[in-house]
Structure 1
Amino acid sequence: MGTIKVLESAIQNKISAGEVVERPSSVVKELLENSIDANATEIEVFIEESGMKKIRIVDDGDGIHHTDGPLLFQRHATSKISSDYDLFQIRSLGFRGEALASIGAVAKVSVETKHHSGDPVFIRFEGGELMRQSPGKERQGTDITITDLFFNTPARLKYIRSLKTESGKIIDVVQKMAMAHPKVSFRLVLDDQQRLMTKGNGNLKETMSDIYGLNVARNAVEIQAQDADFRIHGFVVRPEINRSNRNYMNISVNQRHIKNFALSQSIVKGFHTLLPKDKYPIAVIDIEMDPKLVDVNVHPAKIEVKFSKERELNHLLENAVLESMRKEVLIPDVAKKIPDRQKPVQDAIDFTQRNTFDRPRYDAPPMPRNFEGRQSEQPETVYTVDPVPTIAREEGPSPETNPPPELEEEHVPAPSKSEGEAEKLPYMEIVGQLHGTYIILQNDSGMYMMDQHAAQERIKYEYYSANITAGKTAAVPLLIPYTFEFPMNDIIEIDGKLEKLKQLGFDIDKVGPTQYAVTGYPNWIDEKRPEEDIGELIDFVSEKEDFSVNQYKEELAIMMSCKQSIKANHYLDRSQIEALLEALGSCYSPYTCPHGRPVLIHMSTYEIERMFNRIMK
């Protein structure tokens, strides 16, 4: 006699429940999706003991017709699809018909619902069995209550973390649903305490304010992009407000919240060098596309999806974020935030306009004797230089033809700017230098401090990036080749990357078992010490396991800009500071260094006066 048999439906439901209902937050997610599919405009979520005791969700949606009551808790019973063709163009959040069957198999469920064309009905379901069906209350929509979750599967309880953790996951689910559906009002109550309330007026920025706070919403920058297949809309938050994990990057596809590493990485790439290392942005982005281009039938949780044109979508999203950041003035304000109830005492200054100020000029103290633009043996702690007139930013030389000279030559390379492009830095007067490291500047809005190393890093990075990443790598020939010798364990790596080194502009050949000869090098190599730089670059390449020429060009531009920029305790004279500021003002993105650290910070006159008790508020 055979040993194969068909499992009972109750056991089948418990097995499927393990895939769909992992924890209380999974229940909340599935029920919220049902409410949204039912065209609800107001949804209330009541949680007791992190959902382990009770989960109640009330909506004003279409409700369930009383004749469908017996089918509610049957597996694969759904109103969302009717044929296999529908699986290729899913427009609803739910479609499998597994959620209520899975929940009903491991919990006690009460449903009270009324459809606009049917009678109100009340249904009680426990552990996979229908216990009661009777007339319900006359109220449009659905009121569903889940109690004693996992009461008949005690092994599942072992894998539930602390109640605090489970509550956090429920809050996260409701928040992400609210941001994906700003036209729906969400209210979350945890143990009789309201934790979340959104207006549901369709304003995504207001929804972000309800969830992340007013400061995040104020710093949110709108992004929009579209092509023949995709339309992207949402907000990204300025880089000075960031997080240490990716959980604050909210991505939805056709208003379905998803997790996709490639799309998250595209957002991070869009910020480019504006974010500090190991920091991630806050973003709320919805992507509209034809449902045929996305497959949501990948995982029971329906949070993982696959795209037909993923590369094109990633490129569009990255460029959308990049363009939105390029339009912003990203100078962080280090002053304490002014409470909302206080009115500002100064008019805001438009940093995109060039202003002139009729300010009295004051004589500055004499400069130190050793102030000659190079590091002194015993640097003074603080000194000032004479204020200078308005800095004229004229069209600089083309970076492709003029390599960046050292700062000692009183010139810093300035990337060329398109005609008519607005100034990205405000007008600032030079006050002096602090500890040979920071430049002190001022204008009518207050005081600025500029990190001279970070500023020149940005300038040199844009020069190298324009030449290296754009492929402008004409070789400089050598009459006498440079010969390099490497240890045997590096030879295999370098041998496999010779062609890619040639793509970077090196004329390099192997001339011995462990030796290489370089007969030409790219024109962006430092002409003062080419042999040293070439050796370091070959070393750098040999250590890379997964070597991509384009990725390496970017890393190379960052590395060379950092290595060749002025360091701390390096004293500059006035002409050098002027040149540095002029070149920075011509940069495409002058607000951060290539590593994401700020170049400039600002302290308003209002905050300075508050610190000296000139304003008693």
Structure 2
Amino acid sequence: MGHIHVLPSDIQNKIAAGEVVERPSSIVKEIVENSLDAKASVIEVFIKNSGMDSIKVVDNGLGIDYDDRKLLFERHATSKLGKAYDLFEIRSLGFRGEALASIGAVSKVTVESMSENSTAFKLNYSAGHYEEDTVWQERQGTIIEISDLFYNTPARYKYVKNLRTEAGKIIDIMQRMALNNPSVSIRLVFDDKERFKTPGNGSLKEVIHILYGMQVSTNTVAVSGDSPDYKVSGYIVKPEITRSNRNYINLSINQRHIRNFKLSQAIIDAYHTLQAKDKYPLVFLNITMDPKLLDVNVHPSKVEVKLSKERELLELVENTVRRALLDLNLIPEVGHQSKEKQKVEQETLDFNDYKKEAIREAASLYEQPRRKPFFKDRENDYKQEVKQTQESVTPFKERKAKDQETYIETESVQKEKLPYLEIIGQLHGTYIIMQNETGMYLMDQHAAQERIKYEYYYNNVNTGNEGISLLIPYTFEFSFDDVITIDEKLTDLRELGFEIDKSGVKEYTVSRYPSWIKADDPERDIADVIDFISHKSHFDINKYREEMSIMMSCKRSIKANHYLDKKQMEALLESLGQCQSPYTCPHGRPVIIHMTTYEIERLFNRIMK
């Protein structure tokens, strides 16, 4: 007698439930997806005891036909697929027909539904047994309530995590459902307390505001991009708002929430150098594509997907986000603005008398020895400062217009990245103080020069075969420990444009070096490059460009407590304005911060709270 036999249907359903119904949040996801597939415009979800006692989903969708009621809990019973070819262009969120069968195998389920021109019904299902009940209210749509979850599978019940964790999973899934379907009003209620409710008016930004608050929603930026096969749309959040993990990168394809490491990494790459290390952006993107290019039949959760033309999509997503970021003014503001508050201002003060006094005081300053002179010639410095003080009597906007004539001529080709800024002075030899009609700005001089040098090195490392030949080669001596690794990296160094040869036991000569190494101190730069390359286990030119650019820019930038004269500060600001992204250093720290006039006046109580 044979030993192989077919398992009873109730055991089959319990096995399937192990894949589909991992936890309460899995049930919420499956039922709400059914409501969305039924074209519901209003969905309400009621949770008790983190779903372990009860999960109830109420919708106003198409409803279930009376004649289909006995098929609801049969495995692979579905209205969403008709033939095998439909698997190649899945347009619905659900399609397997396993959810209700799996849920019914490990819980008690009540279904109440009515479709258009059909009879209303109510059905109780438990452990494979049907029981019909009376419908108390006829309404189009469906009400599904799941109770006593895992009552007949104690092993699964035992390994459910703590209730707070389960509640967090449910909230996370419902938030993603709301973000992916802004045209549907979604309400979530926990133990008779409403967690959130979206209006269903189609505004994704309003949903973001409800779920994440004003700080996030006011810093969102709309993005859109398309290619022959894909269309990307949604919102990104300015890089000054960050999170500690990548879970806030919300991605959906055809309104289906998905997880895809490569797509998330493409977005992180687009934010590159705009955020600090180990910080991640908030992003809300939907990708629209032909279902034929997408395979969602990979995992029972339907969150993992496979994509055709993946490289094209990755490039589109990264370029779309990067382009939007490059168009932004990313100077963070200090303090909290509240423009809605009424402004109560003090009397305007007349500073004309103070200007004359300031000129006299400026003259007296130069009669005393100065600890850290800014200029070589004290007399010329005095004259220039007096002239600047006199000019300050001129209205600010007139000076701005005059100064901008030259600025506009030089920057007419490139889009202006920074606002017009007038340099006032320097604080502690570290921060450059600036102003315009909106308020005060502080620039970190080290971070600014880091950004300038980073973009120079990144754009020029290994961009060609040009190099600088030396009549007298440079000779470098390294320790015995370094010699072994340098010998292995000679080919990599030559690929970068160095002509380098071993000339002794510990000596190397360089007779040619690439032109991107600056001429002010090439010997030191060459030594740094050799040392850097020798300590890399695997040489990758793209990764090298990135890491080398950061290292070189950090080492070669002016440090704190380094005093600059006015021309040096102006040159630094001008060079920063020509950068592609002048708002952060390569490590993601801000270069410039802004304090508005309103915020300053509020601090001095010139504007009452």
TM-score by length of 1: 0.87
1:451 corresponding residue in structure 2: 444
Q: Secondary structure at the match of 1:222?
A: strand
- Residues 94 and 547 (structure 1), Cα distance of their counterparts in 2 relative to 1, 3 Å cut: farther
1:492–1:161 Cα change, 3 Å: farther
Aligned to 1:523: 515
Once the 2 structures are TM-superposed, how far is the Cα of residue 479 of structure 1 from its aligned partner? 3.1
List aligned pairs for 1:136-147, cutoff 5 A. Answer: 137-147=137-147
Out of 369, 372, 388, which is 1:370 matched to?
372
Farther-moved stretch of structure 1 (131-140 vs 256-265): 131-140
Q: Does 1:425 align with 2:424?
A: no
Q: Distance in 1 between matches of 2:386 and 2:19?
A: 68
Which among 438, 441, 444 is matched to residue 434 of structure 2?
441
**Structure 1: runs of 5 or more not aligned:** 347-357, 375-382, 397-415
- How far apart, in 1, do the equivalents of 2:513 and 2:601 lie? 55
Structure-2 separation of matches of 1:549 and 1:385: 52
1:451-472 superposed Cα distances (whole Å, 9 cap, x missing partner): 1111111111222222126x14
Residues 337 and 599 in structure 2, CA contact (< 8 A), matched pair in contact too:
no
- 2:468–2:515 contact (8 Å) kept in structure 1: yes
How far apart are the structure 1 equivalents of 2:276 and 2:529?
24
Aligned residue in 1 for 2:454 = 461
Q: How many angstroms does 1:132 deviate by?
A: 3.4
AA aligned to 1:460 is: K
Task: Quote the Cα distance in structure 1 between the aligned partners of 2:375 and 2:2.
Answer: 92
Are 2:4 and 1:12 equivalent residues in the alignment? Answer: no
Question: In structure 2, what is the equivalent of residue 562 of structure 1?
Answer: 554
- Identity of paired residues, percent? 56
Gaps of 5+ in 2: 346-351, 377-384, 392-398
- Counterpart residue number, 1:544: 536
Matched with 1:51 is 51
In 1, Cα distance between the equivalents of 2:49 and 2:577?
56
**Correspondence 1:305 to 2:298:** no
CA–CA distance in 2 between the matches of 1:385 and 1:123? 89
CA positional deviation for 1:596? 1.1
Structure showing the higher helix proportion among its residues = 2
* Cα deviation digits, residues 165-206 of structure 1 (max 9, x gap): 111111110000111111111000111111111111111111
1:393–1:585 CA contact under 8 A, matched in 2: no
Q: Is the 8 A contact 2:532 2:548 kept in 1?
A: no
The residue number in structure 2 matching 1:350 is: none
Equivalent in the alignment of 1:403: none
SS in 2 for 1:250: strand
- 1:240: how far off? 0.7
CA contact 1:457–1:594 (8 Å) conserved in 2:
yes
Q: Structure 2 matches for 1:265-284, cutoff 5 A?
A: 265-284=265-284
Q: Which has the higher mean CA deviation after the structures are superposed, 533-542 or 385-394? A: 385-394
Partner of 2:256: 256
- In the alignment, residue 435 of structure 2 is paired with which amino acid? Q
Q: Which residue matches 1:615? A: 607
Q: How far apart, in 2, do the equivalents of 1:17 and 1:572 lie?
A: 70
1:84-483 residue pairs with structure 2 within 5 A? 84-132=84-132, 137-338=137-338, 341-343=340-342, 363=359, 365=362, 366=365, 368-372=370-374, 419-468=412-461, 471-472=463-464, 474-483=466-475
**Secondary structure in 2 matching 1:57:** strand
Q: Secondary structure at the match of 2:272?
A: helix
Moved more, 65-74 or 121-130: 121-130
Which range moved further: 157-166 or 133-142? 133-142
Per the alignment, residue 394 of structure 2 pairs with none
Report if aligned partners of 1:373, 1:572 keep a CA contact under 8 Å in 2. no
CA deviation after TM superposition for structure 1 residue 547, in Å:
3.1
Q: Deviations over 1:216-264 (max 9, x none)?
A: 1111111111010100001100011111111111000011000111111
- Name the amino acid aligned to 1:371: P
Deviates more, 1:21-30 or 1:130-139: 130-139
Q: Which whole-Å deviations, capped at 9, do the CAs of 1:540-576 have from their partners, x for residues lacking one?
A: 2233344321121122222211111100111111111
Q: Distance in 2 between matches of 1:430 and 1:274?
A: 24
How far does residue 101 in structure 1 lie from its aligned partner after superposition? 0.9
Give the one of 506, 524, 533 matched to 1:532.
524
1:121 Cα deviation (Å)? 1.1
Check whether the contact 1:345–1:606 (CA below 8 A) recurs between aligned residues.
no
Cα distance, 1:530 vs structure 2: 2.7
CA distance in 2, matches of 1:267, 1:393: 38
Distance 2:158 2:373 in 1: 70
Which of residues 499, 506, 511 in structure 2 aligns to 1:507?
Answer: 499
Aligned length: 576
Largest Rg, 1 or 2: 2
Note if contact 2:337-2:598 (Cα within 8 Å) is conserved in structure 1: no
- After TM superposition, the score normalised by the length of structure 2 is 0.88
Please give the secondary structure, in 1, of the residue aligned with 2:62: coil
Note if contact 1:386-1:431 (Cα within 8 Å) is conserved in structure 2.
no
Equivalent pair of 1:478/1:519 in contact (CA under 8 Å): yes
Instruction: Give the SS at the match of 1:370.
Output: coil
Q: 1:522 to 1:113 in 2, by over 3 A?
A: same
SS at match of 1:47: strand
Q: Shift in Å at residue 37 of structure 1? A: 0.5
Relative to structure 1, the CA distance from residue 496 to residue 60 in structure 2 (aligned partners, 3 Å threshold; closer, same or farther) is farther
Question: Deviation per CA, 1:284-304, whole angstroms, max 9, x where unpaired?
Answer: 000011111111111110001
